Chains A and B, each alone.
Chain A
Amino acid sequence: MAPSLEEPTKVDLNAPLKVAPKLVAPEPEHCPGPESEQAGVADNCAGCPNQKICASAPKGPDPDIPVITERLSSVRHKILVLSGKGGVGKSTFSTMLSHAFASNPSLTVGLMDTDICGPSIPKMMGVEEETIHVSAEGWEPVWVSENLGVMSVQFMLPGRDDAVIWRGAKKNGLIKKFLMEVRWGDMDVLVVDTPPGTSDEHLSVNSFLKTSGVDGAVLVTTPQEVALLDVRKEIDFCRKAKITILGIVENMSGFVCPGCKHESQIFRASTGGAKRLAADEKIPFLGTVPLDPRIGMACDFGESFLDAYPDSPACKAIRHVVRRVGEEMGMQGDVLGDEE
């Protein structure tokens, strides 16, 4: 077989979804997606064993989308935390963002983990052992504090070391179920943590939330070019999917030696770091968060770093970033509920 050097197939990011039909065979390579408008009628569908099923499936928008919209209509602000690269601190930042918002007692905050193969949120929030409560009105999120609720796939796994070996379609189903079933209730901010990359999870979160309205995405990166390279791809993704970019945060920038206070650039910003990238791409730069070993430790123990070390430089930096996120979303007043 001669290999093809063709450009990636274009995924239609704006088409409304319809119900996914039951397929008889796995989706082929150039499948437009059984949920897409084009299912069964696209050029690539010729010869696919699923073609008839896809073509005859009821057209029109997915009836689940209004359910999701209804569920989330009581959530005022929705933020996606994205990064093309893994391990740059998406989950850490999501946790801190939620903790910071929740430090304002007048806000109710939710945190949803859509990383199905590697969910870290429950551990970072210190609620690893919890399970979901199912009531007649839906699934109840796990409450970390009075005004901070968490939802993750981890809560549904029998053993916490079990690998979730799922293909994309199955992951999409779960994310959808999450959005449909979880009873977030009256909520001010919902933070959605995502896995690295630009694939199934991102596409489905985007299309499921399209009608309920997402405020935008916060991109997290580390300063070195290897990470920025992937973040550029994520910016491209956001543009193509028409997701507003609230801004970019540079995490792990600079490490202050606890011994001699000498600052080292461990992940050197040889190409100007996130600041330069933000300027080049004309997106807001939200700030930098220094590398502090205590952040990692707080996450390991499931504590809030912001509560544990309120005077550290990293904490101040994070609070600054969170304020900027609030500003970008157009939230009124000081989102943290206090003045420094």
Chain B
Amino acid sequence: MVRQISVFLENKSGRLAEITRIIGEAGVNIRALSVADTSDFGVLRFIASDTDKALEALKAAGVTATATRVIAAEAPDRPGGLASLLQVLSDNGVNVEYLYAFFHKSGQNAVVILRVEDKEKTLDIFEKNGIKVLTPEEVYTV
């Protein structure tokens, strides 16, 4: 499964710039990212080209960062593509905690990063419904 890095962020100016600078200086590329926030704090989630290296650099800088396993699935790049993928999950009673998407550089498809409660069940459902799940290598080296 793909490893995503999550970082605790206070809502203050320059924080995101600082975090991305640390990642950049460690020579790590950000493949995809999303930020969720409340009025006080936020959580930055991203896929790195080298998860361990990025984690190490962030922790060395005293940043609260953890790795979480997420699923990367392909959705057809056409109107209704994401909806069809989500419909499959909904039909099977899978709750999505959060998701974000990005474009595959070479392919025709979008990549959807999903965090769900029951990962094994979700992988099964995707397999049965012919939805392609990407390997970590495929995602890290997009």
The answer to whether A and B come from one shared complex is no
* Chain A contacts to B: CB under 8 angstroms: none
- B residues neighboring A (CB under 8 Å): none
